[in-house]
Chains A and B, each alone.
Chain A
Amino acid sequence: METKATPMASRRGFRTGIEALDEMAPHGQFQGGAVHELLWRKSAGFPLSFALLLARAAQENGGAIAWNDPDRELYLPAVAAAGIDLRRLVLLRCSGRSEQMWALAECLRCPGLSAMVASVDKLSAIEARRLQLAAERGGGVGVLMRRYESRNIATYAAASRWLIEPAPGSPQVQRWNVELLHGHGRRSSFNPGRTSQVLLLEVDRETRAVRASGQLADRSAAPNFAQGERALPARATG
């Protein structure tokens, strides 16, 4: 048998370091041993930056991350610039649907990986459940990028589900609206009157600093936006 991680020790959640975002997530952090879905609309494109934010936080937590990139379009210099250690980034090239589902489940089941990022379109209820169980066993985080249009509405296995949409930027910053559509186990302080919560995430086009902007977002649930700023650490000096 392969080495089994103890379930309690392996349930390692992580915080992204952007307080407003962490506040918004169920349990105040991105829960380990679970699948998180990032939804995107066709007009917008993949939420790669957001996925990378999660992947980096997971990597800082220890362990390697896997990224399924069948078309070889993930641009590694930009990934390295965002603070990912390339030696701990396993690139998968699974394009067929059945082999991809198998590989995802294998990756999630592995205690050596702290995050698995993939773009998945159609996901049946059984497959979603299978991925969730695999993640529970491995203790890592599954980040699935899915089309908003093909999300399952009736069945639901992910720990949290986010919608990421681009928002009009300015010459200095690129912006996204990040909306928590659904989350298991919300905090008790969560405002019950609202069904969703929106956050405006900004990335500086020059310095790549990511921060949450107070504009448009729900101030009552996330009181301290101003302190949420944080620069990405791995920029080369000199």
Chain B
Amino acid sequence: MLRASEPCRRELLDKPFVLIETVGNRQIVVHVSPDAPKEIYPGMTLAEARARHGELLDLPATPDADLRSLRALGHWLMRFSPGVSLEPPNSIFLDATGVERLFGGLHNFRNKVAKALAGLRITASLAIAPTAGAAWSLAACGKQTCGISLDQLPDALAPLPPQALRLEHRTTELLSALGIHTIGALLALPRNDLAARFGPLILQRIDQALGAAHEPLLFLPHRSPIVASLEFEGAIESLDAIGFVVRQLTREVAEQLAQRGQGARQLKLTFEQPYGPVVEKTVGLARPCRNESALFKLLGCVLETLQSSEGFIRISLKITSAQPLDDEQAALIGGQEERNAAALDHLVERLRARLDCDANRVSQPAVEWGELVESHLPEDACRSCDSAAAVAVHHSTRSAVDLLRPLRLLRRPRAVQVMVVPWSSIEGQPISFTDRGAVHRLAHARGPERITGPWWKGRWKTRDYFDVLDEAGNRYWIFRVAQSGAWFLHGIFE
């Protein structure tokens, strides 16, 4: 059994910190770092803790993320023992039965696990005992024991506090109020009365710790990665042959996915060349999928971007991310709308697979969505998102929807020469402008609409916008920088 502490960050290593949970409008401390002062304890409010210790760092508690990382750590620990069971929030049981023959004794086993965890910079307390309950008790109290027998257990546990038995908080408080501070004292009490006074859990825990009752552990399912690969005697070059091989690999992978009831979210194709570097192509999917032909179609898009001078000697396909997929038939029995949504998702996947993998492409994503942002600066009023679900439903902000803005906004305003009404060159309305040699005589101008950048943006930031219509009927959005008097074309109402 080992206890893993919260994942530590570099800046937290030498400073006391607390994890807080927001309940209503109160922030309650739920976890305190080991080096925090003694007067800070879980259950107090953050304000109170701050009052006692000024330099306290606080972070939000993330129980779900903690559980996820605990599960990931559990899967990682399967390299030491096939039986790994989680005990949230912060413990993991490893079944050490029989592993001493592999690792050369229990001591070696424990040292190897400790070293591996230290390599991950996880502070852990490890204890090995004949029962899971006893191992938890010993590890929780920092007694890094190893190789004690069942007969020695009562003696080993006797000096430990009752909290080490994984009791409810209420029970341990009651015990300490009654002056029972060790497990030894607890065991000395008459057994029949314990259950009546403290509930049935306490007897169960005592029996589990001492080996009188069996403690069922729920072991994590063993997950091997889904991989299919094929090696060739000589390098293959033709795209047809590669396509054929990838088709076969896809079939194998799809079968494995079907057996597990999962769908792929990310696939990685690896091509090994005889001398050159390994070529890797990754494809992401918008929704889990295990349909062989759909997957192959996606991979086919990737194959078109493949380049090699010498061919490949080994091709492998790996599912790097998978999700449970309930029923493949949903797409067939769903309505037209659902089918269309699925078709759109597949389209986006195909476009991304083909266009984003293209090496010649500059690093902008091929497919995007856009959302509105509240900003009075026209160029900051929208931004791109990478999925339709991420698009915020736009609130009817004045800046976003109500103002008259051109449909085409130049990414960089273009300098233009403007003639204004003669009697005032600073404040006047434009009467014509010259853009890249073409003269536009203006029939109507509306404005100015003054837009000022934020104060930290330097001096040339106050813009006076005019919505102008030239004699041909083209409509432009031009502005004058109030400080310098320079004119720019910013947008076109097309």
- With A48-B494, A86-B372, A174-B469 known as contacts, the answer to whether A75 contacts B405 (CB < 8 A) is yes
Name A236's closest neighbour in chain B (CB-CB). Answer: B396
- With A48-B494, A91-B367 known as contacts, the answer to whether A75 contacts B402 (CB < 8 A) is no
| Cβ-defined contact, B406 with A92, below 8 A | no
- With A75-B407, A92-B367, A206-B404 known as contacts, the answer to whether A110 contacts B347 (CB < 8 A) is yes
Contacts of A125 in B (CB 8 A): none
Within 8 A of A (CB), among B219-270: none
Main secondary structure of the interface of B (DSSP, over half): mixed
| Cβ-defined contact, B401 with A170, below 8 A | no
CA distance A77 to B477 in the complex (A): 15
Q: Which of the segments B39-47, B177-185, B209-217, B331-339 contacts the partner chain?
A: B331-339
Q: Which of B332, B336, B360 has the most CB of A within 10 A?
A: B336
| Cβ-defined contact, B344 with A92, below 8 A | no
Contacts of A49 in B (CB 8 A): 407, 493-494
| Cβ-defined contact, B355 with A48, below 8 A | no
| Cβ-defined contact, B366 with A110, below 8 A | no
Q: Contact mask A119-147 → B, CB, 8 Å, 1/0? A: 00000000000000000000000000000
Q: Which of A87, A91, A92, A110 has the most CB of B within 10 A?
A: A87
Contact of A168 among B337, B340, B355, B472 (CB under 8 A): B472
Name A2's closest neighbour in chain B (CB-CB). Answer: B346
| Cβ-defined contact, B341 with A3, below 8 A | no
Contact of A170 among B370, B381, B411, B444 (CB under 8 A): B444
Confirm or deny: A56 has a beta carbon within 8 angstroms of a beta carbon on chain B: no
Contact of A76 among B346, B382, B446, B473 (CB under 8 A): B382
Confirm or deny: A153 has a beta carbon within 8 angstroms of a beta carbon on chain B: no
Q: Which of the segments A13-21, A28-36, A101-109 contacts the partner chain?
A: A101-109
Contacts of A79 in B (CB 8 A): 407
Nearest Cβ in chain B — how far from A208, in angstroms? 8
Contact of A86 among B297, B347, B394 (CB under 8 A): B394
Confirm or deny: A187 has a beta carbon within 8 angstroms of a beta carbon on chain B: no
Name B379's closest neighbour in chain A (CB-CB). Answer: A75
Contacts of A91 in B (CB 8 A): 367-370, 384
| Cβ-defined contact, B410 with A87, below 8 A | no
- The tally of residues in B whose CB lies under 8 Å from a CB in A reads 71
CA distance A93 to B407 in the complex (A): 17
- With A44-B474, A93-B364, A168-B471 known as contacts, the answer to whether A75 contacts B491 (CB < 8 A) is yes
Q: Which of B382, B397, B398 has the most CB of A within 10 A?
A: B382
Name A45's closest neighbour in chain B (CB-CB). Answer: B494
CA distance A111 to B354 in the complex (A): 19
Confirm or deny: A113 has a beta carbon within 8 angstroms of a beta carbon on chain B: yes
Nearest Cβ in chain A — how far from B329, in angstroms? 12
Confirm or deny: A94 has a beta carbon within 8 angstroms of a beta carbon on chain B: yes
Confirm or deny: B110 has a beta carbon within 8 angstroms of a beta carbon on chain A: no
Q: Contact mask B304-342 → A, CB, 8 Å, 1/0? A: 000000000000000000000000000110001101111
| Cβ-defined contact, B469 with A169, below 8 A | yes
Contact of B382 among A75, A82, A94 (CB under 8 A): A75
Name A238's closest neighbour in chain B (CB-CB). Answer: B396
Contact of A111 among B297, B339, B400, B446 (CB under 8 A): B339
Contact of B369 among A44, A45, A87, A176 (CB under 8 A): A87
CA distance A78 to B398 in the complex (A): 12
| Cβ-defined contact, B407 with A113, below 8 A | no
- With A3-B342, A110-B347 known as contacts, the answer to whether A76 contacts B372 (CB < 8 A) is yes
| Cβ-defined contact, A3 with B339, below 8 A | yes
Confirm or deny: B201 has a beta carbon within 8 angstroms of a beta carbon on chain A: no
CA distance A168 to B397 in the complex (A): 32
Confirm or deny: A235 has a beta carbon within 8 angstroms of a beta carbon on chain B: yes
Contacts of A74 in B (CB 8 A): 407-408
| Cβ-defined contact, B351 with A92, below 8 A | yes
| Cβ-defined contact, A112 with B369, below 8 A | no
Name B391's closest neighbour in chain A (CB-CB). Answer: A87
Contacts of A205 in B (CB 8 A): 404, 446, 467, 469, 475
| Cβ-defined contact, B355 with A80, below 8 A | no
| Cβ-defined contact, B369 with A94, below 8 A | no
| Cβ-defined contact, A111 with B343, below 8 A | yes
| Cβ-defined contact, A86 with B369, below 8 A | yes
CA distance A87 to B491 in the complex (A): 24
Contacts of B360 in A (CB 8 A): 96
| Cβ-defined contact, A75 with B408, below 8 A | yes
CA distance A174 to B409 in the complex (A): 18
CA distance A5 to B474 in the complex (A): 42
| Cβ-defined contact, A106 with B347, below 8 A | yes
Nearest Cβ in chain A — how far from B455, in angstroms? 24
Confirm or deny: A216 has a beta carbon within 8 angstroms of a beta carbon on chain B: no
- With A103-B355, A166-B472 known as contacts, the answer to whether A9 contacts B336 (CB < 8 A) is yes
Confirm or deny: B32 has a beta carbon within 8 angstroms of a beta carbon on chain A: no
Nearest Cβ in chain A — how far from B473, in angstroms? 3
Contacts of A71 in B (CB 8 A): 411
Contact of B341 among A89, A112, A167 (CB under 8 A): A112
CA distance A43 to B336 in the complex (A): 44
Name B492's closest neighbour in chain A (CB-CB). Answer: A45
Confirm or deny: B279 has a beta carbon within 8 angstroms of a beta carbon on chain A: no
Name B337's closest neighbour in chain A (CB-CB). Answer: A62
| Cβ-defined contact, A3 with B331, below 8 A | yes
Contacts of A76 in B (CB 8 A): 370-372, 381-382
Name A71's closest neighbour in chain B (CB-CB). Answer: B411
- With A48-B494, A94-B355 known as contacts, the answer to whether A78 contacts B347 (CB < 8 A) is no
- With A9-B336, A80-B401 known as contacts, the answer to whether A107 contacts B347 (CB < 8 A) is yes
8 residue pairs, one from A and one from B, having the closest CB atoms: A112-B344, A236-B396, A166-B473, A112-B343, A76-B382, A75-B409, A112-B340, A48-B494
Please give 14 more A-B residue pairs, beta carbons under 8 A apart, in addition to A73-B409, A112-B340, A176-B473: A5-B339, A9-B336, A44-B472, A49-B407, A75-B407, A76-B381, A81-B403, A81-B405, A110-B343, A166-B472, A166-B475, A168-B471, A168-B472, A205-B404
Chain A residues at the B interface, C-beta cutoff of 8 Å: 1-3, 5, 9, 43-49, 52, 62-64, 71-82, 86-94, 96, 99, 102-103, 106-107, 110-113, 165-171, 174-176, 205-206, 208, 234-238
* 20 A–B contacts from the bound complex (CB under 8 Å): A3-B343, A5-B339, A44-B474, A75-B378, A75-B407, A76-B370, A78-B407, A81-B401, A87-B391, A88-B388, A92-B366, A103-B351, A110-B344, A110-B347, A112-B342, A112-B343, A113-B347, A168-B471, A169-B443, A234-B401
Chain B residues at the A interface, C-beta cutoff of 8 Å: 293-294, 297, 331-332, 336-337, 339-348, 350-351, 354-355, 358, 360, 364-372, 378, 381-382, 384, 388, 391, 393-394, 396-411, 438, 443-444, 446, 467, 469, 471-475, 491-494
